[in-house]
Amino acid sequence: MDVSRANPEKIPWLPSSLLEGATREPCPRCGRLSLTPWILRRDQERHVWRRWVCIECQFTEERQEDESG
């Protein structure tokens, strides 16, 4: 495995449309109501982060999630 060339983070897949009933928020970049919760990840300290993505301009933002349970 070659880990010497760490790629900058790439987005392998973006949602192309909002799911019906999905949470939507105004995007801080394009201002459209297109920011939607996307993937979860867990960091080394076991905090859970939710990545939000704007399906219009592909702005992404990570927010820490409450971990219950």
Least Å from the CB of residue 5 to Zn ion: 30
Judged by CB, which is closer to Zn ion: 39, or 48?
39
Judged by CB, which is closer to Zn ion: 33, or 47?
33
Cβ-based neighbours of 38, under 8 Å, separated by 6 or more: 14, 15, 50, 51, 52, 53, 60
Residues of this chain that bind Zn ion (CB under 5 A): 27, 29-30, 54, 56-57, 59
Cβ-based neighbours of 46, under 8 Å, separated by 6 or more: 67
Judged by CB, which is closer to Zn ion: 48, or 57?
57
